[in-house]
Amino acid sequence: MLEFFRSTGHTAIESVEEMLVGMLRDGYEVYSTASDALFGGGKSKETKQEVRSTDRGINEAQREVRRELMMHAAVSESVNLPLVLSYMSVVKDAERIGDYAKNIYDLVKYGANFEEVPDREQLNGYRLAVGDLINQAADVFEVRDEHRAAELVNKADGFLDEHDAEVKIAFNSEGPVGDAVARALYFRFLKRITAHIMNLLTALVMPVDQLDYYDETKEDRRTTS
């Protein structure tokens, strides 16, 4: 179905798809830099600048995607309207990945440091899993593999439950308040990054009316037809 909608106006749509993939790649760079700081790198002017400048590039790419889609819709003789609407929606998900990754660096600025915590290995495991998810999403979107996209969405859906469980554990923690807050926010940010990746991949596997499906809790999700 996706290839059918891409059959006309290929150049404009292809350009948008390349920009979306680039936004994911840059989102990973922000995520990697910020999480490196959280796990021992610490805050620095250089790290702050790298996080902020890459995130600004993502924001500009979002605006460029929207301009490109508007131009395509305005001048193309045969507009791929479902695809235009789909990409206009999910570009915000690609942008939000960078935002939440930047929030992870905010934790470092506030004094959070996971370098020597007793469960560092477990926390780092979640970190690596989400980083790999971002990269896999970029790979899948680049080749527009609907089957792999569906598999990746199902895999990521399990991550949401794990992140929720860890937020609850942090909330009920009897340790230092600052440590509990840092952990709760860390897993909250991981959950939001994961959900935005899943939403972006819906552009490959779901109709336009069911985009943002994974912003809902599982019990509130609309039933697909």
pLDDT digits (tens, 9 = 90+) for 139-157: 999 999 999 999 999 999 9
Alpha-carbon span 136 to 192, nearest angstrom: 17
pLDDT per residue over 71-110, tens digit each? 888 877 777 788 888 999 999 999 999 999 999 999 999 9
Place of tokens 């949401």: 160
Confidence class for position 203, pLDDT limits 50, 70, 90:
confident
At 176, list the tokens.
């230092």
At 188, list the tokens.
């909250």
Alpha-carbon span 187 to 178, nearest angstrom: 14
pLDDT exceeding 70 applies to what percent of the chain? 87
* pLDDT for residue 172 is more than 70: yes
The overall average pLDDT reported for the chain is 89
Q: What is the CATH architecture assignment of 8-219?
A: Up-down Bundle (1.20)
pLDDT per residue over 100-113, tens digit each? 999 999 999 999 99
* pLDDT for residue 188 is more than 90: yes
Alpha-carbon span 172 to 65, nearest angstrom: 42
So where are the chain's domains?
A: 8-219
